[in-house]
Amino acid sequence: MSQKLAGKVAVVTGASKGIGAEIARQLAAAGAAVVVNYSSSRSGADKVVADIQQAGGRAVAVQANLSNPEEIPALFVAAKSNFGRLDILVNNAGIYEFGALAEITPEHFHKQFNLNVLGLLLATQEAVKLFGDKGGSVINISSVVATLAPPATSAYSATKAAVNAITRSLAQELGPQKIRVNAIAPGMVETEGTHGAGIIESDFRKQIESQTPLGRIGQTQDIAPAVVFLASDDAAWTTGETLYISGGMR
């Protein structure tokens, strides 16, 4: 991979596994120094850092639970102290819990909105303070469910619809500061999380694949290159967009 991000510094939230881990690896392969954020899986984050360092890149693991507003500033202090600057923020940290209307509780709602929406906003707030005169790039990880909105996903789908709206709004608000804000909306992707939830071996996966024009679920390697693109000068005139990477499923 070309060093199109040489000299840049990126924070990737929720990067100890799954899509976030692959994003961190590919940003580093493109030349960026990467802050690999994790909430609870120190071993996972350390593995990602080791992978990056073994490939000749620069990375550091930093703990912060993005659903706790008090922990967010320290993540960006660490970016500044370790690498001296910030150019890229990937808001990947998120949680999903499905539930029919009758099962929804305030806890179910706030657990998802506090991380997927409020945590994203507060992380972006901190990143903007560190972006220099040349601006920066914010990439939000949304989901195809923002518009697909299957049954029993009302709260989760609402968080991702909010992410799409935030992306559009902040792109307009931050554009004068040369800060670009875009989103990526993946379809179903094979990760530790989808394996742990039993989704990968389920009939639900087969149903999704049958409705997907390209006939398969995604891999983390399908998502990360688009993040590198949006973080780079190749996307210098791209902002406010949500890019669906879902095999054609919408």
Known active-site residue 96: no
Q: Which of 38, 96, 156, 244 is catalytic?
A: 156
Q: At which residue do the structure tokens 């960006």 appear?
A: 76
Question: CA-to-CA distance for 246 and 3, rounded, in angstroms?
Answer: 27
- Please calculate the CA angle 87-93-99 and round it to the nearest 5 degrees: 150
Q: How far is CA 67 from CA 77, 94, 101, 110, 140, in A?
A: 17, 9, 23, 10, 16
Question: CA-to-CA distance for 5 and 8, rounded, in angstroms?
Answer: 5
Furthest-apart CA atoms within the chain: distance in Å: 51
| Cβ within 8 Å of residue 150, ≥6 positions away | 157
E strands of the chain, at which residues? 9-12, 33-38, 59-63, 88-91, 136-141, 179-186, 189-190, 218-219, 242-245
Candidates 216, 248, 243, 246; CA nearest to 227 is 243
Conformation bin of residue 25: beta by default, left when phi > 0, alpha when psi is -120 to 50: alpha
Question: What would the two tokens of residue 5 be?
Answer: 């991000």
Catalytic residues: 156
